[in-house]
Structure 1
Amino acid sequence: MPQVELAWGAATAVGQREDNQDRFLAAPPVFAVADGMGGHVGGAAAAEAVVEALRSLAGQGTTTVAAIRLALQRADGEIRAFQGPEKSGAGTTVAGVALVDEGEGPQWAVFHVGDSRVYRWHEGRLELCTKDHSVVQELIDAGYISDESAATHPQRHIITRALGVGPRPEADVVLFPVVPEDRYMACSDGLTGELGDGRIAALLCAGDAPDAVVSRLVAEADASRARDNATAVLVRSA
């Protein structure tokens, strides 16, 4: 199986929150962002549990979709087993991309639970690879509200799927071919809540090194007085 050369970067900022409950992983073949919720201690612990479960897949050239799902299921169980009032109701979203081999050579597996997102820069344009698991997205799909009004909708922060809380979630997974110079960015909603797709596209298309791109994206979100933690991980195939 041919090796895929990768370059990547990651950055995070607290924003206007008291602490950072986002966690990220940039450890080939897995790149992911988890956005914890449910209190300062519990949210951070939930996000950390997901990142550590996915970290178990690192160190190999590729992983599998089944292994990704198993890691997320294990993290979901660990979060639900948290003890103590400080961790009560803890949960987390997750979004990421991983190199997988499903018998046809390496592919990118984009996975997510909740409203953290994965974008792809492909053939000169930005594509959103994930669909938010949120009340607002359901309203958009049903035709009740427009994409434009979603950003200010009073229920925009209510998610319908998360690890650790509610019904046992199933991650959405989509496979993409490995294309040289494609860029994939996983990010928390603290970033997309401050920067529109146009600004994200403008920075991704510049061709700068991934660490420089994500550092600027997160810095711009933070400079906009981001209301939430803002985190991004970017990976590029050579």
Structure 2
Amino acid sequence: MTIWRGQGRTHKGRRATNEDALVCRDGEGLWAVIDGMGGHDAGDLAASMIRQCLEGLSLGGGMAHRLLAVETALQTVNHAIRHHAAMHMRSKPMGATVVVVLIQGEEAAVLWAGDARLYRQEGERLDMLTRDHTPVQALLDAGELTEVEAMQHPRAHVIYQAVGTGDKLQLEQARFPVAQAQRFLLTTDGIHSVLTKDDLLSLMRHRVSESGILKAALDKGSRDNVTAVLVQGNPE
């Protein structure tokens, strides 16, 4: 049996405040990164509300039950964020992107909204298991942009889905098998807006820690908060 453990780090980077957050619940097989939007007093609060929701979530049963529990919790916090904005912030926009990965036995699942990402490394290969909810992603899918061009695109930070930005939260999800040889990386866009997939693969192949990944993004010039969680399996 494989025991999965995560190590995470978040840092404000060159920003005045940190609107990112992370969750590592090794015992329950749940890890997440969250990127708040709306500025100080809005983005950081939205991220904190989602973090608290995921940290306090009761998980049990099989993967389908766990997926439903996470989705229901995120729908609930979506309404809570919108209510808070309406009642206390004159409906100032606030919300957060999020990616959540669940691992149980030999199966995993991911849920996400926005451009927070999940990558899977196995040997010399790194696959992005999420797809950004952005107009730029559509251009990438159509082959109209390269990865580097997409990172430099003037609309690179425009997203069309996030927790708290609409009455009905549209979450995307996927399920897939896992193996002990695999490692997983969750990132907010402060990381992958400056580090290409090849950059990240090189860091993971060299067993760079989550702190090292943050440092690499900041050294590359990231202007955003930076957050990364590394999840790997060890035999019991």
Is 2:165 aligned against 1:156? no
Q: Which residue of 1 aligns with 2:217?
A: 221
* Equivalent residue letter for 2:69: A
1:109, CA displacement in angstroms?
0.8
Are the equivalent residues in 2 in contact too, given 1:43–1:87 (CA < 8 A)? no
Q: Which residue of 1 aligns with 2:97?
A: 93
Decide whether aligned partners of structure 1 residues 77 and 5 sit closer, same or farther in structure 2, where only a CA change above 3 A counts.
same
Aligned to 2:200, what secondary structure does the other structure show? helix
1:26, CA displacement in angstroms?
0.7
Give the alignment partner of residue 77 of structure 2, picking from 75, 83, 100. 75
1:147, CA displacement in angstroms?
3.4
Give the alignment partner of residue 232 of structure 2, picking from 194, 212, 236. 236
Aligned to 2:162, what secondary structure does the other structure show? coil
Report Cα offsets for 1:180-202 as digits up to 9, x if no partner. Answer: 13111111000011211112111
- Give the RMSD, CA atoms, in angstroms: 2.1
Could you tell me which runs of 5 or more consecutive residues in structure 1 were left unpaired when the two chains were aligned.
none
Is 2:9 aligned against 1:11? yes
* Equivalent residue letter for 1:221: A
* Residues in 2 aligned to 1:106 and 1:75: alpha-carbon distance in whole angstroms: 29
Report Cα offsets for 1:194-225 as digits up to 9, x if no partner. Answer: 2111121112123x4xxx61110001212333
* Equivalent residue letter for 1:222: L
1:61, CA displacement in angstroms?
9.0
Report Cα offsets for 1:32-66 as digits up to 9, x if no partner. Answer: 00000012111011111111111123676976111
* Residues in 2 aligned to 1:21 and 1:61: alpha-carbon distance in whole angstroms: 32
Are the equivalent residues in 2 in contact too, given 1:61–1:99 (CA < 8 A)? no
1:31, CA displacement in angstroms?
0.5
Over the matched positions of the two proteins, sequence identity in percent amounts to 32
Q: Which residue of 2 aligns with 1:145?
A: 145
* Equivalent residue letter for 1:16: R
* Equivalent residue letter for 2:219: A
* Alignment length (residue pairs): 228
Are the equivalent residues in 2 in contact too, given 1:119–1:184 (CA < 8 A)? yes
* Residues in 1 aligned to 2:53 and 2:60: alpha-carbon distance in whole angstroms: 15
- State the TM-score, normalized to the length of structure 1: 0.88
Q: Which residue of 2 aligns with 1:198?
A: 198
- State the TM-score, normalized to the length of structure 2: 0.88
